[in-house]
Structure formats: structure tokens, C-alpha cells
Amino acid sequence: MGEHIIKLPDVGEGVAEAELVEWHVKIGDMVREDTVLAAVMTDKATVEIPSPVDGEILWLGAEIGDTVAIGSPIVRLKVAGDGNVVADTKSPEVTAASTPTPNPSPQGGGGGATASKGGAKPTSSSSANPKGIEGGEAAATESPSPLWGGARGGGTAPTSQVATPAGAPRPVGERPLASPAVRLRAKEAGIDLRQVAGSGPAGRIGHEDIEAFLARGPQVARTSGLARNDAIQDIKVVGLRRKIAEKMSLSKSRIPHITYVEEIDVTALEELRAALNKEKRPGRGGVERPKLTLLPFLMRAMVKAIADQPNLNSLFDDEAGIIHQHGGIHIGIAAQTPSGLVVPVVKHAEARDIWDCGAEIIRLAEAAKSGTATRDELSGSTITITSLGAMGGVATTPVINHPEVAIIGVNKMMVRPVWDGTQFIPRKMMNLSSSFDHRVIDGWDAAVFIQRIKTLLETPALIFVD
């Protein structure tokens, strides 16, 4: 038997490090070739790390949320044959059955007060960082990590003990063991079963325990079922959420925003969109044209408006004092995914017609939601659209995607009464809430830009006129 060290591979051009966001294995697991071991994140793109060989997990070299340099060891396997570790650098085997040691401090390092149930943590430096790995022997680890006990990702670890109400035999959140008949009786008597000590196996509560509890007095027995919860859970901010936090902090701390809100009458646009969606005409390559939403129309309107004001399609390097004005219009589309907010990018919108824009939005949205979007698909935007659809609200204050200088926010569409000079008529109305970098975009320029978009959306035939 030998040992095989797996190092963090090159996960993208120009990437020097990556954040570990998920472990799919734990110490002692048997894995086969191509089994996914972990997931790392770079620039909002998640990359899975597979095992190149069959073997048993001996050591995991990082915790959830750690930043790992490319080429650093992350996993050690016991394999058949010689492996890729020379004999004098092999370390004693580390297994998940290592004896856990108590943690004297419940704070710090993202660890909890005790190891997770069913798991264990290393008790010496040889189990936490075997010899032969960069840096030699590490000091003994005091705090447990999510990788002991087989936790998969998340980086969430309770760091304080759950509070127990006065007189309660079990902590808040622990479900009492009792039969349905006992539970019904307790409910009818107004008894909180968490306050009842069970005399049966594993603390199971029986009818005799209910009777004993009632015998102690109604002032204790009859409760409302409400109890204080003093538990505090410390959640480590890792992965995509940390990337979002860093990006938002950068944008709000360095960009002085000016937000401009304008009302748009989209009645004619919606009629045109419905008519176009009824047509069954093939698009490019014989593929059926996609169903159009509002966004492709907005994108084409932005392209026309940027042609008149190219300074809106820029990136501002505030440290160098340079505005990089781009010819290509690369529109980021903010998309909500189960993991958080990402911004896939429709490249060269100026070279796409309205159906091509729609098809690319659909493709990128599916890739973002499934977690398969590439680094290139999630970077390179020069201006961004943000839309919450039906949840869009009446008005919002969008945060600019640094180092861009503008973001266009789409609010929800509503039917409102509009005065036409003689009477009120129902019209489909929608607000655009847009933010601009006031260091390089004056309020007048922002207003002219949005008014141009308003004209195009309210008279949608103009969008198709070159």
C-alpha cells in the first residue's frame, strides 16, 4: 500500500488561489477514480475537484472557507501500489475514528464547542497536517471543523450551547419521545412535553410521567407551549456569499451613487411582445425562436442609447484615474440562484438581434442556476441589468457592479389608471430605477440616457429601426 497526495489543480487562467466551499468526503471514506472530493470557488465560478485514483481518505488539508493556493496539497489517500509519496515522508494513517478532544474555548476559528455528532477531530499534529506536506508538522488543532464527521460544505457550525429553559429536562429544539396518545393527552392538558422527564427507554415519556408531572402542581404543568430560545448560531460567511459581500462593500464604499427613477408606459411593448411570441418562425440554424421577455427589448434599447452616450459603457479604474470606454457592449444580467446572486454576461449585445439576446439570456440563466456557468460567462460586463420580476417593487436603489459606472433596475409591471387628457384609461406601467457613478456620470447625462431608453420602450417599433 502507498499514499497519494492530491494537490489543488489549475482551475482557470490567471487564477493563483481558490476558496474551498464544500467537502464531499470525510476521513475514512473509500473513493473511486473520478469521485468528486471537493468544490472550490474562483470569481463566482464553482469548480469540482475529482479524485484521480481509487483509495481511502487519510487527510483533508483545508477547512470550509479557507483560501488554498494552486498546487497546495488538499487530500491524502491510501492507495494500492506505491502511490506518489516517497517512503520517508509517509505519515501515520489518520482515520475518522480518532479520539475527540474537548475544546476549552467555544469561540474563535469558526469552530464549535464540541465535535459534531457522530464525528471526530484530530488529537495531534500528525493527524491535522502529516509530515511531508508543505510546512511540516502543524500545531495541534483546538477547534473542530466541518470536515470531521463528514459534513458537506456550508461552513455553518453552532458555536454556543443551546439554552435550556428553567426546569426543562432537555434543550430547546430536542424533540421529546412519546407515543401519539401521550402527545394528545399532553396537548389537551396544556403540557409542554419538553418540560416532562421521561422514565422509559431513551427518556421516552409515558402516561405515568404525565400523571406525575400533573401531580406536582398546575402552575408548572399548564404552560402555553411558549419558551425562550437563547441559542446563538455563528455562521461563517464563505463561498459565493463572501464574494457577494466583498463586491457589495467595494461598490458602496468607493462609488458615490446617484439613483434616477422614471416611469415607463409599456402597454405597446407588451402588445408587440405578445404578437411576436405567437409567431412560430425558425430562428438562426433552423431552431425555433425563444419566447421573448422584456429584457431583450431593454437590452436593444440600451444598445441604441449607448450609441449616443458611449461613456455609459465604461469601467472606471479609480486608482489609476482612467475611464476605460468599451466599444463592445457586454451586458451583465443579475440572476438569483440557490447559492446567491451571480451576474452572467451577454457578450457583444450590439451584434445580437432581439431573439439572439433572448436565447442567450435563457442559456446563461440555466447555466447560472445549475452551477455550470464558466468563469468567462460570469465576468467581463461593462453595464448591468438587475430585475426581480414580479417581486421588483415600485422602486429600488440598485448597487453598481464595480468597476462599471451604471446599472439599470427593472421594477414590476402594474396596470395603473393614466389620464389621457379627457379620461383615465388603464395602462401597463413600469418603473426603471437606475444608478450611476456620480464621479464620472453627471445627473443630466443619467437623465438623458434613461429618457432615451424610455422613448424606445414606449415606441417599440423604434427598437427595430437602424
281 exposed, middle or buried (CB, 10 Å; 0-12, 13-18, 19+)? exposed
Phi-psi region of 141 (alpha: psi -120 to 50; beta: other; left: phi over 0): beta
Smallest Cα–Cα separation from 441: which of 315, 333, 345?
315
Question: For the chain, how big is the Rg over CA atoms in Å?
Answer: 30
**Cα 58 off chain centre by:** 30
The cell numbers describing 429, all together, are 406601467
**Cα 443 off chain centre by:** 34
Do 245 and 223 meet the contact criterion of CB atoms below 8 Å apart? no
Residue the block writes with cell 466583498: 246
Active-site pick, 29, 265, 438, 445: 438
CB atoms closer than 10 angstroms to residue 124: 17
* Cα distance between residue 356 and residue 95, in whole Å: 54
Helix (H) or strand (E) holding 251: helix 239-254
Strands 331-333 and 322-325: unpaired
Do 50 and 35 meet the contact criterion of CB atoms below 8 Å apart? yes
Amino acid at 5: I
The cell numbers describing 428, all together, are 401597463
* Cα distance between residue 275 and residue 99, in whole Å: 69
Q: Is residue 223 helix, strand or coil?
A: coil
Helix (H) or strand (E) holding 51: none
Helix (H) or strand (E) holding 261: strand 257-265
Degrees to nearest 5, angle at CA 348 with 455 and 343: 85
Active-site pick, 420, 442, 445, 466: 442
What is the edge-to-edge ordering of all strands in the sheet holding 406-419?
257-265, 424-437, 406-419, 383-387, 331-333, 345-346
DSSP conformation class of 270: H
* Cα distance between residue 31 and residue 25, in whole Å: 8
Residue the block writes with cell 427507554: 201
Active site residue 438: yes
Catalytic site positions: 438, 442
